[in-house]
Structure 1
Amino acid sequence: MSIGTGTRLGQYEVQDFLGQGAMGVVYRAYHVQLARTGAVKVMQGIAPDADSIARFRREAQAIAQMRHPNILNVFDFGEHEGTPYMIVEYVPGGSLASRMRQGPMDHTSVIDTLTGIARGLDYAHSLGIVHRDVKPANVLLEKDGTPVIADFGLVKLLQSASVSMSGVTTGTPAYMSPEQVTGSPVGPAADRYSLATIAYEMLTGAIPFDGEGVLEVLYAHVHRDPPPPSLRRPDLGRRVDGVILRGLAKEPTQRWESCEAFVTALRQALTGAAAPAVERTVVMAPPLKATRPHPYQSAPAAPPAAVAATRRSHRTRNTILAAAGVLLLLTVLLLGVAALRTPTLALSTNPVQAGDHVVVSATRLPANQAGEVELYSPVQIFPFKSDGSGNMSVDVIIPRDIGAGDHTVRICWNGTCHAQATLHVTAPVALVTPTPSGAPAATQSPQSSASPTAVQRTLALSSSRIKVHTGTMTVKGFHFTPGQTVTLTFIQGSTTNKNVATATAGTDGTFLQTYTIPSTAVVGTAYIRACDASGCAYASLSVTATG
């Protein structure tokens, strides 16, 4: 559908054609009374039926209520000859995609741009709005370089439109999260994954999975690990790798708790990577000459004239011994102080199973020290920053592909690891159905061994969202040990880890329990943990301002 120059849409008059994309056609328009230029998006991808138009109006109203300097303003919306349109703010500076095609950006510009995008996304997430198609082409740039996010909610409109086929994945393949690819529920974590992909591309000049067909890219998002950024740009370093790879985690709950937390960690990693290493130089005193004769050497009697010199020699010896004693005492004191400042590392749970959560905490770190927790075999990196008292804690999710046995956890900064602990990972306990009484026991051949199937505990939530301060939620658990007490814990970052309810698993291994959100919870991603004496299950959720 084309709209001719001079056509009036509401109070705006169409001036000229700007471009066409997956969402439809875009025109420049002008509001005469306000002397304001806008952009008209004609949504050709939305079917002109009553249900689709109603969905469009609801989504447009929600988007139009957002007011943020990094989100494109919606001025008006309506229908023209049965086709929905939306009039939005006109940003003349081009897109981030165009800017990135011009060549590499310096680290300061990268962080400034990502900061603006992160603030806009976090604001939208606080209102319960998810973009679903965050990519450089949907980030417009003001003349001063300020990023402005466009096309909020339009992917959701296409997903719900009657012309869309059930199960079709919408979004841009290079920046899509694994849950979008698989058709799983999509929340704020999907936008955070896309933001990490943009950061990867801005720093390395390439997307994480490039040079492949669309189907291969979609498969890679779900099943393959991206190459660390430092493999493409060695100057970025391990700390940048850790920040970005956490942002690209397959599991939504393993990603950063907010977009701004991701960008803050990336800024610190880039600053640390660029800081020159300073080595300390210790000045050593010259060796002292021996002043005492060998015990088996006979010393001649000193003549009267040498008595004074001998006394001076004794005084020198005593002075040296006294100085040595003071030096020894200072050394002992320094070693004691160093021992008091040696970092201590603790694990909240040990042993664990694959998929469990462990809080790694440490004390006696330098104040406000940025570093990383490293879990070995396979290597996983979790960035942290200590507080002003030198304490830190970070939630670590044990990879599901980790092998049973002992694994090393270390805390490192400035290229050196300062403390470590051993984490014991046990094999999952299998639940075996007993053989009915009177039935013959099965015999095994010498070549075969029993391989009982483990049943994993799972949780179902009454909603994927809970309102901050006052919200309640019902949790149903499956495959728990019958008759055992189940403790529900609400966890969010390092600030909230609170038991919120207890339940008893029924004879069928299920429970149903309602809890109230803790007062310390904030808007963002959180998760609920349910544990009995034999194991735990987790489920992620979003804390929102509106419930």
Structure 2
Amino acid sequence: MSGQTGSLVAGRYLLGDLLGRGGMADVFRANDERLGRPVALKLLRVQAASATDRERFAAEAHTLARLDHPGVVTLLDAGLEDDQPWLAMQLVEGATLASRFTGGSLVPADVAEIGRQVAEGLAYAHACGVVHRDVKPGNILLAPDGRALIADFGIAHLLDGTTRHTAVGQAIGSPAYLAPEQASGGELSGATDVYSLGLLLLEALTGERRFRGTTTEMVYARLQAPPEVPAELPLGWGTLLRAMTSVAPGDRPNADEVATTLAGFDGEDLAAADPEATAPFAAPFAVAEVPVAGRTVEPDGTRVFAGVPAAGDATARPRVHRRAPSFLAAAAVVAVLVLLSGLWLALRDPAPPASSVPPVPSGVPSQLESPLADLHDAIHGGAE
């Protein structure tokens, strides 16, 4: 399929200007010739390799197209042309949150309002059985009317198990915003998106990304401990962000609770707790988890997640549970087992050349040196 201005996709979408280019896709402004409306047309640089893959893509696209919320960019249509997936989405004029980050930290009132809207959109989708799995500044669109919309909702779900990711450096999830359970191959849930949103809000308030370095350094760091939340942040903000970025998913608030807390911003701080009392999010939260079914490992060693069940599927009923915070003690063991199985989770945030990237972070326990070196080679390519 030709992804060029002036091309016609699916016999109805006339491609216009290129709006953006990411690691896995190109996004064009397009015109729906059948309905006479503008859309954003995303062409993915992956292939659906079999009839089963194509059927699954169509089924999952149908599920995602049912999402209808003012905080979620609507998926209007999807299909495959020459086995290449394409997605027609609601066109939102405006900038991404990532572009706002280039100027440093944002004012707390804006952070609270943007965060509230994003959390409400996440809560809606989680209730429908869909986990975003790639919440990051580039996927938050800021419309001129003040709305914040989540883009690419469920695209990770749509692609996993449907297409084949075999190229070095391609996978689902941005290393800077991955939750620990994504980095360790654990069960994904709404709590996964809450963690990523916590990192996003922390960066918006401080102007600094919390996890930096090579992919292996970032993955290793978040398996060991939560990100540092500056002590100078007001009490309410600090309490919420520490809860959202807890290593154990069961210790995080759900998206509804995050939205409610952010809605209580009073101009200086979030409606918080009595300073004499314990933190309001100190007790473990009951997190509604949506199981991720059908994990498989491709022959090349890439882990492919088949995604969450379709909304309304009986298997997608939330399971409420609490987890003891023993994750920290087991993190190193989990990392060894998972990394030895060939897990690599790098999105196409541009990776530096292999020659400039140290294979293993300094200070890593000896038993992790070999697995992390293997992870480095999987992402950046082995030495020539």
Q: Same fold, TM exceeding 0.5? A: yes
Q: Which letter maps to 1:261?
A: E
Change (3 A) 1:38 1:82: same
Give the counterpart of 1:193 among 192, 195, 212: 195
Change (3 A) 1:204 1:53: same
Aligned to 1:338: none
Change (3 A) 1:206 1:53: same
Q: Which letter maps to 1:395?
A: A
The 5 Å alignment of 1:414-425 reads: none
The 5 Å alignment of 1:127-138 reads: 127-138=128-139
Aligned to 2:9: 9
Give the counterpart of 1:395 among 259, 283, 286: 283
Are 1:177 and 1:194, in contact at CA under 8 Å, matched by a contact in 2?
yes
Give the counterpart of 1:183 among 182, 185, 199: 185
Residue by residue, what CA displacement relative to the aligned partner does 1:402-436 show, whole Å, maximum 9, x if unpaired? xxxxxxxxxxxxxxxxxxxxxxxxxxxxxxxxxxx
Change (3 A) 1:524 1:120: farther
The 5 Å alignment of 1:266-415 reads: 266=262, 268=264, 271=266, 370-371=273-274, 382-383=279-280, 395-396=283-284
Aligned to 1:248: 245
Aligned to 1:349: none
Q: Secondary structure at the match of 2:208?
A: coil
Give the counterpart of 2:256 among 234, 254, 260: 260
The structure with more helix, counted as a fraction of residues: 2
The structure with more strand, counted as a fraction of residues: 1
Change (3 A) 1:46 1:183: farther
Are 1:46 and 1:52, in contact at CA under 8 Å, matched by a contact in 2?
no
Answer yes or no: is 1:49 the counterpart of 2:50: yes
Unaligned 5+ segments in structure 2 are: 286-290, 294-307, 324-384
Distance 1:242 1:197 in 2: 14
Give the CA deviation at 1:81.
2.4
Q: Which moved more, 1:37-46 or 1:258-267?
A: 258-267
Aligned to 1:90: 91
Q: Percent identity?
A: 33
Larger-gyration structure (1/2): 1
Residue by residue, what CA displacement relative to the aligned partner does 1:295-343 show, whole Å, maximum 9, x if unpaired? xxxxxxxxxxxxxxxxxxxxxxxxxxxxxxxxxxxxxxxxxxxxxxxxx
Aligned to 1:151: 152
Q: Secondary structure at the match of 2:72?
A: coil
Q: Which letter maps to 1:527?
A: H
Aligned to 1:447: none
Give the CA deviation at 1:193.
0.5
Change (3 A) 1:163 1:109: closer
TM-score under structure 1 normalisation? 0.50
Give the CA deviation at 1:35.
3.1
Give the CA deviation at 1:266.
4.5
Are 2:94 and 2:142, in contact at CA under 8 Å, matched by a contact in 1?
yes
Distance 2:227 2:2 in 1: 42
Aligned to 1:526: 320
Unaligned 5+ segments in structure 1 are: 276-367, 375-380, 385-393, 398-460, 474-522, 530-547
Are 1:125 and 1:524, in contact at CA under 8 Å, matched by a contact in 2?
no
Give the CA deviation at 1:30.
0.6
Q: Which letter maps to 1:179?
A: E
Distance 2:275 2:159 in 1: 41
Aligned to 1:335: none
Change (3 A) 1:369 1:21: closer
Q: Which letter maps to 1:123?
A: Y
Q: Secondary structure at the match of 1:14?
A: strand
Are 1:158 and 1:164, in contact at CA under 8 Å, matched by a contact in 2?
no
Residue by residue, what CA displacement relative to the aligned partner does 1:438-478 show, whole Å, maximum 9, x if unpaired? xxxxxxxxxxxxxxxxxxxxxxx9x9x99xxxx899xxxxx
Aligned to 1:421: none
Q: Which letter maps to 1:383?
A: P
Q: Which moved more, 1:177-186 or 1:212-221?
A: 212-221
Q: Which letter maps to 1:218?
A: V
* CA RMSD in angstroms, aligned pairs only: 3.5
Are 1:46 and 1:162, in contact at CA under 8 Å, matched by a contact in 2?
yes
Q: Secondary structure at the match of 2:279?
A: strand
TM-score under structure 2 normalisation? 0.69
Give the CA deviation at 1:272.
8.6
Change (3 A) 1:369 1:174: closer
Give the CA deviation at 1:24.
1.4
Are 1:246 and 1:382, in contact at CA under 8 Å, matched by a contact in 2?
no
Q: Which letter maps to 1:209?
A: F
Change (3 A) 1:149 1:272: closer
Residue by residue, what CA displacement relative to the aligned partner does 1:233-257 show, whole Å, maximum 9, x if unpaired? x2x233322210110011110000x
Are 1:48 and 1:83, in contact at CA under 8 Å, matched by a contact in 2?
no
